[in-house]
Structure 1
Amino acid sequence: MFVIITYDVNEKRVGKVCKKLREHLTWTQNSVFEGEITKGQFLKCRQQVEKIINPEEDSIYYYIVENPKNIKKEFKGTEKGDFDIFF
């Protein structure tokens, strides 16, 4: 399945949330991660992130697409994703 996760968390927790999501998905924009993931990996990721956030202050949105063929993604501007740099 394809997942998009967006979040708005207190600055005290933003680094931890970002680090945890990087273990499972690709960073595409500030506070946005996306990628192909199994249901088991998604549940593990979700559990780990929800242990970090404070639901009284923070928010996290999960967009789950069961069939990635239904996604049309358009992009304009500077790409932010993870890059491997070769010298």
Structure 2
Amino acid sequence: MYVLVVYDVGEKRVAKTLKFLRTYLNWIQNSVLEGELTESQILKVKNGLNKIINPYEDSVIIFSSREKRWLSKNIIGREKNPIDNFV
């Protein structure tokens, strides 16, 4: 499943949140990551985030689609972290 994660967390939890999410997803912009995950990986991500964030102050939004091809991505300006396939 293609997943896009957007987060807005307290300053003290930003680095820990990013480090955790980067173990599963590709960082593409400040507080935004994307990638392909299985259902069990999505559950691991949700459980891990619940241990890191403060649910009364922080916000994490997980967008998901069965396949990446059903979403279009248009970048205006510089792409912060391009994801290239190396052969």
Q: TM-score range by the shorter chain?
A: 0.7 to 0.9
Letter in 2 for 1:67: E
* Unpaired segments ≥5 residues, structure 2: none
Aligned to 1:3: 3
Paired with 1:30 and 1:53, the residues of 2 have a C-alpha distance of 17
TM-score (norm 2): 0.87
User: Structure 1 CA distance, aligned partners of 2:6 and 2:52?
Assistant: 15
**Percent identity at matched positions?**
46
SS at match of 2:17: helix
Where does the alignment leave 5 or more consecutive residues of structure 1 unmatched?
Answer: none
CA RMSD of aligned residues (A): 1.5
Match of 1:73 in 2: 73
TM-score (norm 1): 0.87
Secondary structure of residue in 1 paired with 2:18: helix
Please name the residue that 1:46 is paired with: 46
Number of residue pairs aligned between Structure 1 and Structure 2:
83
Cα distance per residue 1:18-48 (max 9 Å; x no partner): 0000000011110101111111111111111
